[in-house]
Amino acid sequence: MIRSFVCMAAMASLTACGGSNPFAEETDDDTEITVPEELAGNLKSVSYNATDQTLSAEIYALDSTPVTVVYARDSARDIGTYEAYSVQEDSLDRFFVAMVGESQDGSVQAGFVGDGGQFNRVLQGAYYERNGTFDAPPIGTGPAAGQVSYAGDYAGILNGGPNSADAPNVDSSILPGEPYLVSGQVFLNANFADMAVNGGVYDRQIVLSTPFELEDISLIVTDIAADGSFFGDVEVHGIIESDKGDYGGVFGGSDAAAVAGIISMSDFTDNLDDETEYGFFVLTQCGLDGDAAICDNAAP
């Protein structure tokens, strides 16, 4: 059973210890896009090149040296169109996985970096960013005239996985854990007249040879700020006021063609102990080229 694996507590976010937010972006209109510390977690910075398939990251702590570490492409861990990268110096060091996605138009990006835990702590975090300014769709009357939908893949990282390697003559208590990966689907509705967004993540499962199903979650209705960002609560679907964490993100592209967001939550299932999950999504607006199949049910 999944529950038999040892889960570990998440470290407090690095931002809470002081210093400026690493994901604060000065946009063309001098509006600062900031990833809240509840979502950034232990992640300090990410540099990703989709064309070259390269990624480097700085996370607190213990992934490798120097402070900003180059991660190796790890396509076996890809989820949907999202690309995975990993680093582990040796079998007794923490095993880190990074995953990132970018919108088709290059306007938004999101991802996570984290390990599976070692010595009673797990180090994880996530980010989103936008290239350019917020451009809301035109507001009119009727369907698809300011109220639009977004859909696509979800990817997450979860602590509590099995030991990442079998080292001879080494006590299991010092072996690092290999993080679980979580897959799912996201659907969002946004209204740019009301400036509000909500949605859900469904078909959630731990990626194993025999997938292990996880609870669906609801992304509770929240405001869209003037800069196109949003921040709200996460609940287990069907359990009202079951606050399990936070979600946030940013709209980007022409007429808000894409959205990138991240999720941070914990203690959301009875099948795990002390579980913590960071996840992300990069979605295309329904009705545009490359949208998800579920968009056939939404107004074009």
H/E stretch holding 40: helix 37-40
Q: What is the mean pLDDT of residues 207-232?
A: 95
183 near 154, Cβ under 8 Å? yes
Q: Can you name the residues that pair with 61 across neighbouring β-strands?
A: none
Using a pLDDT cut of 90, give the percent of the chain over it. Answer: 65
- pLDDT of 10: 60
What pLDDT does residue 22 have?
43
Which residue would you say has higher pLDDT here, 186 or 12?
A: 186
Element (H, E) at 39: helix 37-40
Band (pLDDT 50/70/90 cuts) for residue 195 is: very high
Q: Name the band, by pLDDT with cuts 50, 70 and 90, for residue 167.
A: confident
- The pLDDT of residue 15 is above 90: no
- The residue behind tokens 């808000």 is 256
Question: Could you tell me the strand order of the sheet in which 54-59 lies?
Answer: 43-49, 54-59, 69-73, 83-87, 96-102, 108-115, 124-130
Which of 260 and 272 is assigned the larger pLDDT? 260
Q: List domains and CATH numbers for the chain.
A: 2-297 (2.40.160.90)
Mean pLDDT for all residues in the chain: 87
What is the rounded average pLDDT of the residues 29-37?
72
pLDDT per residue as tens digits for the range 93-129: 899 999 999 999 999 999 999 999 999 899 999 999 9
State pLDDT tens for residues 40-98.
Answer: 999 999 999 989 999 999 999 988 888 899 999 999 999 999 999 999 988 898 999 99
Q: Which pLDDT score, from 0 to 100, does residue 2 have?
A: 42
Beta strands 83-87 and 96-102 are antiparallel
Residue 32, Cβ density class (10 Å: 0-12 exposed, 13-18 middle, ≥19 buried): exposed
pLDDT reading at 132 higher than 60: yes
At residue 168 the predicted structure's pLDDT band, cuts being 50, 70 and 90, is: confident
Q: How far is CA 276 from CA 39, 179, 242, 271, 272, in A?
A: 12, 11, 15, 13, 10
Of 242, 279, 281, 278, the closest CA to residue 11 belongs to: 278
